[in-house]
Amino acid sequence: MQAVFKKRSILPGFWPSFSYTTLYLTLIVLIPLSAVFLKSFSVTWAQFLRSVTAPPVLAAYRLSFGASLVAGAISTIVGFLVAWVLVRYEFHGKAIADALVDLPFALPTAVAGIALTSLYTEGGWLGRYLTPLGIKVAFTPLGVIVALIFIGLPFVIRSVQPVLEDADQELEEAAASLGASRWQTFYKVILPMTRPALLTGFALAFARALGEYGSVIFISGNLPMKTQIAPLLIVAKLEQYDYAGATAIAVVMLVTSFLLLLGINGLQRRSARFLERAR
C-alpha cells in the first residue's frame, strides 16, 4: 500500500485527511459522474456513436468548445488587466470595483442572459450602434462568446489577483535597473510569476463556460446547426425522454473537458516548477 504514495509525509494527520478527501470526492463527484456514464452504457456502441456524431450534435460541440475556448482566452487577457489595475493602482471607488467583480458569480445566469440579450439586440442600447457597423451579437455565435466572457471573467481575476498582490515589486525594479525594457520586464518577470494563476483562471473560466446553459440560451437564438450549444441539445433529448442519448452527449463533453483540464493542469504544474527553480 505504501508504494502507491510518492513518499511518506512527515506531517501528522495524513490518513484522516486523505480518507476524508477520498470520501468527499467519491460522494460529491465520482458517484454522480458514474451515474451519467452508466446511463449512457444502456445503449449499444453503435447507437452511442450515432447519437454523438449526428450533424446537429457535431455542430453544437464545435460551438460549445470553440466559444468556450475563445471566451476563456479573452477572459484571461482582460482578467489579467483588471486584476493588475485592482492590485497596482489606487483610485476612488476601488472597493466598489473590487466587489463588482464577483457579481457575475451571484447573479442567476438567466438574468444575465436576458440582460445581455436586451443590450445587444438590434434595438438594444449597444445593439443599435453595432448593427449599422454590420456587427450582429445577439442570436449569433458572437453573442454566445459575450455571455461566456461575462460569466468567466471573475474566475480569472480572482485567480490572478492574490498572486499579483504577493509579487515582489523589487523584482520588477531590479529588472528595470538591470536595463530591461518595460516589455522585457513584463515578459520575463511578471508573466512567468503569474502564468500558473492565469492557467488556473483560464481552466476555470473554460470549464464553467462549457457547462453554461441559463445565460446562453437567451442570447444564442438556438438555431439548429448554427447557434445551438451542446447543453441545449441535452435538454432537447430529455424532452423526448431519450435519457441515454442525452447522457451520451454529456459523456463526450465530460471526457473531452476532463482531458483538456488535465492538459491545462499539467501545463500549470510545469510553470509552477519552473518558478520554483527560478527562485
Distance CA 147, CA 220 (A): 9
Does position 211 interact with another protein (CB under 8 A)? The reply is yes
Q: Write down the least CB distance from residue 121 to another protein, Å.
A: 5
Does position 137 interact with another protein (CB under 8 A)? The reply is no
Distance CA 159, CA 82 (A): 12
- Chain centroid offset of residue 123 CA: 30
Nearer of residues 163 and 236 to another protein, judged by Cβ: 236
Residue list 218-237, contact with another protein (CB under 8 A): 218, 221-225, 231-232, 234-237
Q: Write down the least CB distance from residue 212 to another protein, Å.
A: 8
Stretch of 12-20, 68-76, 83-91, 209-217 contacting another protein, by CB under 8 A: 209-217
Nearer of residues 79 and 113 to another protein, judged by Cβ: 113
Contact call for residues 228 and 57 (beta carbons, < 8 A)? no
Binding mask 236-255 for another protein (x = CB under 8 A): xxxxxxx--x----------
Q: Can you tell me which residue has the cell 457575475?
A: 104
Does position 266 interact with another protein (CB under 8 A)? The reply is no
Contact call for residues 159 and 236 (beta carbons, < 8 A)? no
User: Please, what's the largest Cα pairwise distance for the chain?
Assistant: 68
Give the cell for residue 145.
462568446
Nearer of residues 69 and 211 to another protein, judged by Cβ: 211
Q: Write down the least CB distance from residue 156 to another protein, Å.
A: 20
Residue list 7-66, contact with another protein (CB under 8 A): 32, 51, 54-56
Does position 132 interact with another protein (CB under 8 A)? The reply is no
Nearer of residues 74 and 236 to another protein, judged by Cβ: 236
Contact call for residues 64 and 147 (beta carbons, < 8 A)? no
| DSSP state letter for 277 | H
Nearer of residues 239 and 276 to another protein, judged by Cβ: 239
Distance CA 203, CA 193 (A): 17
Contact call for residues 204 and 159 (beta carbons, < 8 A)? yes
Residue 114: exposed, middle, or buried by beta-carbon count in 10 A (0-12, 13-18, 19+)?
Answer: middle
Residues in touch with another protein (CB under 8 A) = 32, 51, 54-56, 114, 117-118, 121-124, 139, 211, 213-214, 217-218, 221-225, 231-232, 234-242, 245
